[in-house]
Homo-oligomer: A and B are copies of this chain.
Amino acid sequence: MIVVRGPSDETGFSESLARSLGAELVEAEHKLFPDGESYVRVPADLRGETVVVVQPTYYPQDKNLVELMLLADAARGSGASRVVGVAPYLAYTRQDKVFRPGEPVSIRAVLRALHASGVEVLATVEPHSKGELGHFPGKALGVGVMRYMAAKLSPRLHDPLVLSPDLGGVERAREFAEAIGADFDYLEKHRDRVTGEVSMRPKTLDASGREVVIVDDIISTGGTMALAARLLLGQGAKRVVAVCVHALLVGDAYAKLKTVGVDEVVAANTLPTPPGVQQVDVAPPVADAIKEVLGSG
């Protein structure tokens, strides 16, 4: 088995994955042509090998996606017996249905394109919704990592209250909390009809005097997380830790979180993060999921 580090992996995910899989690690060659087209090459003999290509697809999403397609084509064309694509962060998961007529289901187009270019098994970390990977024509692995991250973070937490920013994410909060025997709840949003001001508080529990962990799958612009942290600190929370899997942290999102008083920002290593963010290496559970599916196949 060979793990190929794609050009967008800058967090050590490939190295860790190769170690967990007991596989050889190969760095993909990469350059840009003067006109902006990507060139990639896998400098290894891939004949008869299971080839695992690691390429997270954060910004620039489209370049990273196309390079994953090119690497899959290269692996298949070079005689790999099986091509596994690993996009620790998978782009376009939020356009997973038609919200207004005339829209694409973007993740469907992306997943079909990845399959057509040679990805037979696709692994990603903590999918946004349960349904999105169903659009992949091959075998898709959506590896949940909330329990794994909770166990890794447990020594640094003290009887925390685990909160989801909304009802939709409460399952993640539950998984995280159960893994460390903590309470969990979700934040309910109220908008004042007169002032328009938004308030949020835990549905049933009280944050006062508690260490609070807010868990989400993605922090993008950080707006929701910053608002929640500010309000919870106002409600007497002792400390707020923001935990997410995919820390996109667009623009000044990280500064925004620190400014409102978030004590720690924790994320998985599915994409690069600013200095200061604590990274949890989630390659081991991804390796386990890959081993299981390859073993069963």
Chain A residues within 8 Å of B, Cβ to Cβ: 29, 33-44, 46, 58-63, 65-66, 69-74, 77-78, 91-92, 94-95, 98, 100-106, 108-110, 112-118, 220-221, 248, 250-251
Q: What are 20 sample pairs from A and B whose C-beta atoms fall under 8 A apart?
A: A29-B102, A35-B58, A35-B220, A36-B60, A37-B61, A37-B91, A41-B102, A46-B102, A62-B62, A62-B63, A65-B66, A70-B104, A73-B104, A77-B104, A77-B105, A109-B117, A110-B117, A112-B113, A112-B117, A113-B117
Beta-carbon nearest neighbor of A42 in chain B = B102
A100 CB to nearest chain B CB (Å): 6
With A41-B100, A62-B60 in contact, do A112 and B106 touch (Cβ < 8 Å)?
no
Beta-carbon nearest neighbor of A101 in chain B = B78
Residues from chain B with a CB closer than 8 A to the CB of A91 are 37
A158 CB to nearest chain B CB (Å): 33
This chain's copy number in the assembly: 2
Beta-carbon nearest neighbor of A248 in chain B = B35
Docked Cα-Cα span, A134 to B53, in Å, equals: 26
Residues from chain B with a CB closer than 8 A to the CB of A36 are 59-61
Docked Cα-Cα span, A250 to B60, in Å, equals: 20
Residues from chain B with a CB closer than 8 A to the CB of A101 are 78
Q: Which 4 A-B pairs have the closest CB atoms?
A: A116-B116, A113-B113, A73-B109, A74-B104
